[in-house]
Structure 1
Amino acid sequence: MSVSKESANSLQNAYSPSAGLSNQEALKLLFPNLSFLTELERMRIRAGNRIKGLLAGKRRSSSLGGSQEFADYRPYSSGDDIRRIDWNVYGRTGKAFIRQYWDEQELQVSLYIDVSQSMAFGHSDTNKLQYALRLAACLGHIALCGDDRISVRLFRDTIIRELQPLHGRVSSSKLFHFLADAMQQLERDSDSSSPAAIKKFVNMAAPFQTAAALPRRSGSAWVLTDAMFEQGIEETLISLTAAGQQVVLVHLLSPEELSPDLSGELKLIDCELGTGKEVAIGQKLLHEYRSAVAGFQNELKSICAARGASYIFVDTGVSLEETVRHTFLSSHVLNS
């Protein structure tokens, strides 16, 4: 593929950065391979049903309007614009019918990123939190380039940070700066937190229980999480679905979690609760662990299927480009 840097350069020039990161640093933090931006601009977030939005866009909505895509006929009524009468039909039937068209509007895309303590697990090149923020940058840029509208919320036990809705390709600069700043700040918080200072967060539904945490209009909601909660996963899907969202649950795990390289007498610490447990790790226990992880993935997949949500598993050991190009496209949540 021939690499064009035009998109990356235009985004760098569009930045109005806050103190800390320069334009180039923010982009490189989120996109180690800047040429991938060009490829993302050709993709679109898939919307399965007709949608309703606020602004004109490129999506077919459930409302009828003035686009050029034909929807249906209806009988002429007094006061209708006679320019919309189909005279060919009138010539065949002797009756006047009005042509109706689908109104084209934008898709509302809501990105929810789990920033709880367990998301910080993983080596620097497989860290789940960094991976999730980079995925959000990809998804947000795809949406904005497709004339869709996006919002971003970072959550723990509450929504801790929020980016108000953005629209238009030029807004990608604000999105990238928000995510890059969050990445640096969350890394600093994680490094400075002592086990005693960690706030216990075991109920995923907690941050979604307020109306302000939910999208105000129907659209597509993406939840990026490692799903390491004692409860609340299904309740979260119910809340988002009730808010008119087509939900995509992106389940991230690191290679160290999928196949841990551990052996001997160890004390394992729960990074969310701060509690520990001494265990003797051998091949039998590792086999049981891998079976439990696979069982948990299947359970999440079943919960999503029952609630009409899409489930996508992501191994953070796989490159970001491969996840977007293959995993997301093959799951039919993106169109190329």
Structure 2
Amino acid sequence: MAIEPSFFDELARLERSLRQRTDSRRQGQQQSPNVGEGLTFSDYRRYTPGDDVRLIDWRVYARTDEYFIKQYEAERNLTVHVLLDTSASMDFGDRSENKFEFAARVGLAFAYVAASGHDSFRFSTIGTGFERLDHGRSTRGELLGLLDSVNEIDPEDRTDFVESLSSYARTIRSRSLVVVVSDFLEDPDAIEDGLAALGDTDVLLVHVVAPEERDPDVVGDTVFEDPETGATQRAYFAGSTVESYRERLSAHVDEVEARARRYRAEHVVVDTDADFFDAFAAVWATRDAPSSRTSRER
């Protein structure tokens, strides 16, 4: 897999429109010209007509005989936690439609927009447990490092949602949004138990589905293999068998959504053959502001 650094440059073109759609309670405060609680000094810039004169630094004026405005930046008050599924079933689909590559782009995009909006991000992979990939800096350099780390991942084994989400939940110590990016090919009960472990934290499940999963490009006598266990099963894939398969896949997706609703988590399905940037904008638009839930505080 090779996601290029130019991916972030393309994301930058989406940033303004995405930010306009974001509820301030979840995105956190943006850069502001107003001095107030929760704002920290960032830099100076020259005064231009229309600026608030109250922000002129008169000490600098006394030294330079020029007007400079103090710029302030909102303190980061939201942490976006990205949890990327690295199970073997994620390594499915052609390169342009590969589930893991698409999911990795979604996770990196959330981290990018969080950092651009002056919020913090944490980026981890989940499998039998979790592995944190970031170093807590939430910067452009951090993002480039993450991109390199993600490009080196080869999905394997299976994901234990109960263990990975339970153990990760113990690390959450501030107002947070947890974004789980996965194909969720797991027992819905296990997914629900993982969601329960996250408690009152706001959660978004990004459910990636490859077009070949919806409509397998096979017909007749076929041997199917479970990529996570290696188990195989022979079946004659045609007619009623195809229809039954599609119904079971649709029912599973609906069941994952139902379990998410039970814990007031957001759930959105994304097809990996969609244009990525259109798909990400749609995912971003589904993010509700925290409702009556109280974000985890520890």
The structure-2 alpha-carbon separation of the partners of 1:260 and 1:118, relative to structure 1 and needing over 3 Å to count, comes to same
Q: Is the 8 A contact 2:86 2:159 kept in 1?
A: no
After TM superposition, the structure 1 = structure 2 runs for residues 85-164 of structure 1, keeping only pairs within 5 Å, are 106-164=77-135
Who is 2:5 aligned against? 27
The structure-2 alpha-carbon separation of the partners of 1:120 and 1:309, relative to structure 1 and needing over 3 Å to count, comes to same
After TM superposition, the structure 1 = structure 2 runs for residues 197-212 of structure 1, keeping only pairs within 5 Å, are 199=157, 201=158, 203-210=160-167
Structure 1 residue 279 displacement after superposition = 0.5
Matched, 1:234 2:192: yes
Matched, 1:38 2:13: yes
The structure-2 alpha-carbon separation of the partners of 1:211 and 1:50, relative to structure 1 and needing over 3 Å to count, comes to closer
CA distance in 2, matches of 1:104, 1:180: 28
The structure-2 alpha-carbon separation of the partners of 1:294 and 1:234, relative to structure 1 and needing over 3 Å to count, comes to same
Give 5+ residue unaligned stretches, structure 1.
1-20, 52-56, 60-64, 69-102, 191-197
Counting aligned pairs with the same residue, the percent is 21
CA distance in 1, matches of 2:222, 2:247: 20
Structure 1 residue 213 displacement after superposition = 5.8
The structure-2 alpha-carbon separation of the partners of 1:216 and 1:208, relative to structure 1 and needing over 3 Å to count, comes to same
**Aligned residue pairs: how many?**
247
Structure 1 residue 208 displacement after superposition = 2.3
- Runs of 4+ in structure 1 over 3 Å off: 44-51, 211-214
TM-score, normalization: structure 1?
0.66
Structure 1 residue 162 displacement after superposition = 2.6
Give 5+ residue unaligned stretches, structure 2.
31-35, 40-73, 290-298
Structure 1 residue 202 displacement after superposition = 5.5
SS of residue matched to 1:262: coil
TM-score, normalization: structure 2?
0.74
Structure 1 residue 49 displacement after superposition = 5.4
Amino acid at match of 2:14: E
Structure 1 residue 287 displacement after superposition = 1.1
CA distance in 2, matches of 1:204, 1:166: 27
Amino acid at match of 2:190: G
Matched, 1:260 2:198: no
Structure 1 residue 301 displacement after superposition = 1.2
Q: Is the 8 A contact 1:131 1:320 kept in 2?
A: yes
SS of residue matched to 2:216: coil
Amino acid at match of 1:175: L
Q: Is the 8 A contact 1:265 1:280 kept in 2?
A: yes
Structure 1 residue 48 displacement after superposition = 7.9
Q: Is the 8 A contact 2:11 2:109 kept in 1?
A: no
Pick one of 179, 204, 207 that aligns with 2:147.
Answer: 179
Kindly indicate which of the two structures has a greater share of residues assigned to strand.
1
CA distance in 2, matches of 1:218, 1:174: 21
> In terms of mean alpha carbon deviation, does 294-303 or 307-316 score higher?
294-303
Using CA pairs below 8 Å that are at least 6 residues apart, which structure has the higher relative contact order?
A: 2
CA distance in 1, matches of 2:26, 2:272: 33
Q: Is the 8 A contact 1:246 1:309 kept in 2?
A: yes
Provide the alpha-carbon RMSD of the alignment: 2.8
Q: Which has the larger radius of gyration?
A: 1
Amino acid at match of 1:263: V
Structure 1 residue 333 displacement after superposition = 4.7
Who is 1:10 aligned against? none
